[in-house]
Structure 1
Amino acid sequence: MLLNSGNKTAIQYGSETITYHQLFAHIRHFASLYFIEHGQRAVVFSENRPGYIYAFYSIWKHQGVAIPVDFMATAAEVGYILKDSQPEVIFCSEKTKKVMQEAIAIAGISSKLFIIEEHESKEAANADGFEMPEPTLENTAVIIYTSGTTGSPKGVMLSYRNLMQNVKAVSDHIQIYNKDSRVLVLLPLHHIFPLMGTMIIPLKIGGMLAISPSMASEDLMATLQNNKITIIIGVPRLFAAIRKGVMDKVNKSFVARTLFAVAKKMNSKAFSKKVFGTVHKKLGGAVENLVSGGAALDPAVGQDFQTLGFEVLEGYGMTEAAPMISFTRPGHVRIGSPGEAMPGTDIRIVDGEITAAGENIMQGYYNRPEETAEVLKDGWLFTGDLGYLDEQGYLFITGRKKEIIILSNGKNVNPTELEEVLLASPMVRDCGVFALNDQLQLMIIPEMEAFSTTDPSAIEDEIRTKLIEPFNKSVSAYKRIMRFYVTEQELPRTRLGKLQRFKLASMVEIVAVEETLQEEITDPVFLMIADYLVKEKGRKVMPYHHIEIDLGLDSLDKVSFQSYLQQTFGVSPDPAEMAEYKNINALSEWVRENKTRMEESLVNWKDILQEKVSLKLPDTWITGQIALWFSRAFLSLYFRYKTTGLEKIPDGPCIIAPNHQSFIDGMFVASYLRFGQAKRTYFYAKEKHIRRPWIKFLANRNNIIIMDLNRNLKESIQKMAEVLKSNKNIIIFPEGTRTFNGGLGEFKKTFAILSSELNVPIVPVSIKGAFEALPRGSFFPKPWKKITVEFLDPVYPGQMSYEALAAQVKKQIQVTL
């Protein structure tokens, strides 16, 4: 199962080159660490790295059975596999050691544990005279654990014959692989698809594999370009991400869009490769085949790659078929179909269900004879998928007969398994897991007795924090609930009580909720992260949103997000750890505290405020003067009104910052300004209050800047900055909203940021009596109330922080109240 090609490169890992001779030497070293009997089992639990390959083949050197395990699995999940398989030896990495040690304790086994890094980099013994044994084809080679219908994973036993059938199919019969193939290793090797496609097959025929150090775009691009990759093996989610990056650039250019349309019409691979040569070079310039498997490829993705001059060879299969059942032949791509039956494999449709037979079909499920009998009947594998064969023998998938949910990243999820855990909570009366928009979602009926002391409006938050978040921390990333819905309706079930899962998605009410960013969110780190997530997820981002439960970031999204954080802030939180943060605001705080770049080399508020925005300051009409006269007369007659301290307003630009007691505070502050002061003093008004044409007409002629704080806070703040840079004044209420009790509320930092970065003073203004005259909920002010407005000494920013500056202004107002 492993060809020794001497000094030819076998593995490239970053800058590290391992020849076939060195590979054999490393395998010899790993094999020397332990001894197992023929047929005994050994586990490999690690992220992709050269040592993974050394450990795996050392098991085969002993003619043992290799069990690769998902390196992101939880201790409970690994513990189940260990208890079921009883391995003699376990290999893990430093990164997975803690989880493995917990899993060993859970399983109660005493296997030998080896840390890969402790042996991976050691000088390997000489490989002279070392040979891999020729396997007996009927012997079990690997056991791959996959989700089952019983709620616990099943071990799929694959023989060397099963594996060799796939090797021969894509190297002898369909010549995808050859000795000159250079294959990208990106997907985790515990899954049979990348295990075969990116490790076993290329090493069996003498090809080369290049391991990407991570799934981050920088590592991926560097691996592709430095190694002139010829075969990219991926799941649909990967190809969708690559296509999105390319198409975003195409759609920005009229010329590129035109060329793309022409290429699509011509349907010429040669023309497309010439026109989109830059795209091909970006992927290394040598890619011959893109191979997609693990889940169905979006036909639009396949079509766009074809227009760009690539063929995406899609396959269909499952772990039980090692893994391929059908595959597309080069030059014969049919968009929407995963191709024809693999050489040596027969496909039949039985009552609409796809069945397959051939030497690639598994031996059975480990220790599960009854479940094996359910899917293997007279040598035919009943896949649980529905489909048909057309007249040319092309297979088309139409649906799933089984309950297992297949996500676009190739992961299989048993919803029953998740429901059993959730239903054990006293908070849950009933629930159902389903997939919508390629995300796991949950419909939940709460057990109201558990919320007897909870405010009804807080039930959803309590479910989020006490049920969903802890649950998501306890399972692998791909099993996490990305969104949940609380309902009082009974879930759809048959008369026998079986959940009709396919009806759950139709219960989701599409409610248009206007989500708004609050004024107080002025932290540039949060704003930049939110802006990135808005573009990626196509929805507004709130500080309290969770990256998974609310925004639905999956593992590939989080890798992209990790890359963004690295480039922008110089921090790189592990994607698996991102979900540990309670919400986006908490993650932003961590980034702000640990960032190494933004302030020095990227973006800060000074840069933001210096950006040019389109703003024409409103002309001051005579109506402004008339309004001042009218308001003075009204205030003098209706209230016992007094204004002091106008002389403290400086001649240059300044921020006038009053406390906020009533909805006519603006009138109280501005009415007694001298005409020269009033003419150069501007208010801002929220766009939602200025929508009527006649109001907008007056606003544009009476020193009112219209801003959409909800939709574009950054631009709104920039507009305020433009007012100050134009040597004008602006009135900003630091509290952002009226007081509830007459006292001072929290002072937001927007005004302090403007003052500090533009070096303009702040004039605090104390308003007293307005709350008593016009409290919240009142429509008409009470007459003859005493109102005093006092302009206080200016506060200059100096070297104060935003927080200190805001606190100083608040303090000056506080002592007057």
Structure 2
Amino acid sequence: MRELTVPPLAAAPLVGGLADVVFDHAASDPDRVALGRKDASGTWGDVTSRQFRDEVLALAKGLLARGVRFGDRVAIMSRTRYEWTLFDFALWTVGAQPVPVYPTSSADQVHWMLHDAGVSACVVEHEDHAMTVGSVVDRLPLLKQLWQLDTGVVDELVRAGARIDDEVVHRHRRAVTPESVATVIYTSGTTGRPKGCVLTHGNFMFESDTLLHRWEPVFRSRPGEEASTLLFLPLAHVFGRMVGVAAVRGRVKLGHQPLLSAGALLPDLAAFRPTFVLAVPYVFEKVFDAARRRAEAEGRAGAFDRAVEVAVRYAEAQEDRDFGLGPGPSAALRVQHQFFEKVVYGKVREALGGRVRHAMSGGSAMDRRMGLFFAGAGVTVYEGYGLTETTSAATANPPERTRYGTVGQPVPGTSVRIAEDGEVWLRGPHVFSGYLNDPAAGEAVLRDGWLATGDLGSLDEDGYLTITGRKKEILVTTSGKSVSPLALEDRVRSHPLVAQCVVVGNNRPYIAALITLDQEAVDHWLAMQGRATLQTAELVRDPALEREIRRAVVAANTLVSHAESIRTFRILAHPFSEEHGLLTPSLKLKRRAIETVYAAEVEALYH
């Protein structure tokens, strides 16, 4: 199949903007709990629709009092927290345009984005962010105001706007249309300087309303249950931003968690108890790995591994039934599945808060086997695919027929085309209008209404999309063999001891790999062998560890021909990090930078 269009569920919005729903919900159901907010003591409290409306209105007045006007751009540099969503909707209420900045951005990155966007004000979370902005402020002539969340700026702005009449705010709000710019989100910059994607209110309304309508069973998994989600994705990324918008529009209780570490995230999942989560594969992998390590430490590794096999086979049988290829799980398999329900699967769900039965995953590819395991354990993960330029998801697996290992079918209203060279093209009301200050770059990817994504993929006979790699990342060996590194890297990375994998081999005689380690997993592995923790220099030369990593490489090589296989690899002493310029803020590999920094190690792989 080369092209597929799925009809829209509803027409694109003709009037209004994103902030209207805050006021509509407060008018129609003022006492409904709209958000959860954690206080200084760590206790979760409820925020009603009326309270949120009042806070948005009061902050919008403060923004007007401090000179923010319709069409102005205001940067937000913060981790995921309640105040980010509050600022988003207050800025949208007055017709301003939030510009998200990753909290880990360097001074040079901050300067580029704030200068390119021409921001007039900037909201930061704490003093370190303020110092980062302050270090480049002399080169930002348009930046007039810097507000810091942790010094009580919300209360300060509310006091500043106390004398402004409500109607002044509403006049601004009523001037916003679906065509109005909602935000400028900068791409992660894997191949150069970040580009500012201009997204409209209509883009976000269409995207979020389509997902809420089509995936309604995901958000409301049980009749009468209050839908809720804990947002721990970065709000500087389009996926997290869309989740926040969809939750507010869809009357889903929304909580925020700023840290992705298991130590911080798992207690909040237990306390907030969301009904569904939206995450990246990394989160599901961490939950699985933690469960596996716990079972091994308790001497139950064998039972856990059997439970995994049963879950995978159970989900595969369900998948076959959904596609008319089989009768579903056999009686014997159902008995085995029931046996492991309490001892394994229930505990995995409990790690996600206990109420989660559905989840959505995006940002990078999820291993098919991982998806099958979670489905067999009672949490169906719907994998999807999209870009900043498509306001998040352009394809996703439908609730009634999930095909694990694919990124699903086009979301309603979207067209997917596979170009002659295998590139994925997308079209729909959620596709952006272009890049800020760079019309040539926009023209390069927008072709007669189609967005050329730069990703390679295929559509199967049922219209399910599989992403196979990036055009710019294809490696060509000296023998002329073209190799897409994505599948190899994902399979190597699925080994519990592996943190990251970068496949190299462009203009080289064969394919090789640089591999980094998951230190927590390695420490556990050594402890289970009764061995002391090793220093890094000893670890990367440890014969037993090398044999273990070689198993991951051999498993990955089963996916490809001999000419495309990884012939040799090098274990590195330190993981690739954003701090050293080797990862983007969304944790994507900066391949050129990695090959430059590790040029000597790459060269040694070929001698």
Q: TM-score, normalised by structure 1?
A: 0.51
| Alpha-carbon displacement from aligned partner over 1:203-248 (angstroms, at most 9, x marks no partner) | 1122111212422323312221222201211111111111111233
For residue 119 of structure 1, the aligned residue among 150, 153, 160 is 153
Question: 2:133 is matched with which residue?
Answer: 100
Q: 1:225 to 1:484 in 2, by over 3 A?
A: closer
Question: 2:14 is matched with which residue?
Answer: none
Question: 2:590 is matched with which residue?
Answer: none
Deviation at 1:340, TM superposition (A): 0.3
Question: 1:375 is matched with which residue?
Answer: 445
Letter in 2 for 1:40: D
User: Does 2:49 match 1:20?
Assistant: yes
- Do the aligned partners of 1:149 and 1:404 also contact (CA within 8 Å) in 2? no
Letter in 2 for 1:345: T
| Alpha-carbon displacement from aligned partner over 1:342-382 (angstroms, at most 9, x marks no partner) | 10001111111110101010010001111101100010000
Question: 2:535 is matched with which residue?
Answer: 542
Letter in 1 for 2:271: N
For residue 418 of structure 2, the aligned residue among 349, 354, 357 is 349
- Do the aligned partners of 2:311 and 2:372 also contact (CA within 8 Å) in 1? no
- Do the aligned partners of 2:514 and 2:572 also contact (CA within 8 Å) in 1? no
Letter in 2 for 1:316: Y
For residue 328 of structure 1, the aligned residue among 397, 415, 419 is 397
Residues 48-447 of structure 1 correspond to what in structure 2 (within 5 A)?
A: 48-94=80-126, 95-117=128-150, 118-120=152-154, 133=173, 135-148=176-189, 151-175=192-216, 176-177=218-219, 180-197=226-243, 199-250=244-295, 252-253=299-300, 254-267=302-315, 271=337, 274-275=341-342, 276-351=345-420, 352-403=422-473, 437=489
Letter in 2 for 1:305: F
Tell me how far apart the structure 1 counterparts of residues 250 and 259 of structure 2 sit (CA, whole Å). 25
Aligned-pair identity (%): 26
Secondary structure of 2:265 counterpart: helix
Tell me how far apart the structure 2 counterparts of residues 229 and 375 of structure 1 sit (CA, whole Å). 38
Letter in 2 for 1:116: L
Deviation at 1:300, TM superposition (A): 2.2
- Do the aligned partners of 2:57 and 2:166 also contact (CA within 8 Å) in 1? no
Deviation at 1:509, TM superposition (A): 9.1
| Alpha-carbon displacement from aligned partner over 1:424-470 (angstroms, at most 9, x marks no partner) | xxxxxxxxxx999579xxxxxxxxxxxxxxxxxxxxxxxxxxxxxxx
Tell me how far apart the structure 1 counterparts of residues 283 and 447 of structure 2 sit (CA, whole Å). 35
Deviation at 1:87, TM superposition (A): 0.7
Deviation at 1:72, TM superposition (A): 0.5
Tell me how far apart the structure 1 counterparts of residues 576 and 196 of structure 2 sit (CA, whole Å). 29
Tell me how far apart the structure 2 counterparts of residues 529 and 362 of structure 1 sit (CA, whole Å). 41
Deviation at 1:62, TM superposition (A): 1.4
- Do the aligned partners of 1:533 and 1:541 also contact (CA within 8 Å) in 2? no
Deviation at 1:311, TM superposition (A): 0.9
- Of structures 1 and 2, the one scoring higher in RCO (CA 8 A, sep 6+) is 2
Deviation at 1:504, TM superposition (A): 9.3
Tell me how far apart the structure 1 counterparts of residues 157 and 442 of structure 2 sit (CA, whole Å). 45
Unaligned runs of 5+ in 1: 406-433, 440-480, 486-490, 493-499, 511-526, 557-817
Q: Count matched residues.
A: 458
Larger radius of gyration: 1
Deviation at 1:325, TM superposition (A): 1.1
Residues 603-682 of structure 1 correspond to what in structure 2 (within 5 A)?
A: none
| Alpha-carbon displacement from aligned partner over 1:730-755 (angstroms, at most 9, x marks no partner) | xxxxxxxxxxxxxxxxxxxxxxxxxx
- Do the aligned partners of 2:455 and 2:471 also contact (CA within 8 Å) in 1? yes
Q: 1:150 to 1:332 in 2, by over 3 A?
A: closer
Secondary structure of 2:472 counterpart: coil
| RMSD (Å), alpha carbons | 4.0
- Do the aligned partners of 1:48 and 1:189 also contact (CA within 8 Å) in 2? yes
Q: TM-score, normalised by structure 2?
A: 0.67
Tell me how far apart the structure 1 counterparts of residues 346 and 520 of structure 2 sit (CA, whole Å). 33
Tell me how far apart the structure 1 counterparts of residues 394 and 356 of structure 2 sit (CA, whole Å). 24
| Alpha-carbon displacement from aligned partner over 1:563-608 (angstroms, at most 9, x marks no partner) | xxxxxxxxxxxxxxxxxxxxxxxxxxxxxxxxxxxxxxxxxxxxxx
Deviation at 1:535, TM superposition (A): 6.8
Tell me how far apart the structure 1 counterparts of residues 501 and 406 of structure 2 sit (CA, whole Å). 31
Q: Which moved more, 1:382-391 or 1:18-27?
A: 18-27
Residues 675-714 of structure 1 correspond to what in structure 2 (within 5 A)?
A: none
Question: 2:482 is matched with which residue?
Answer: none
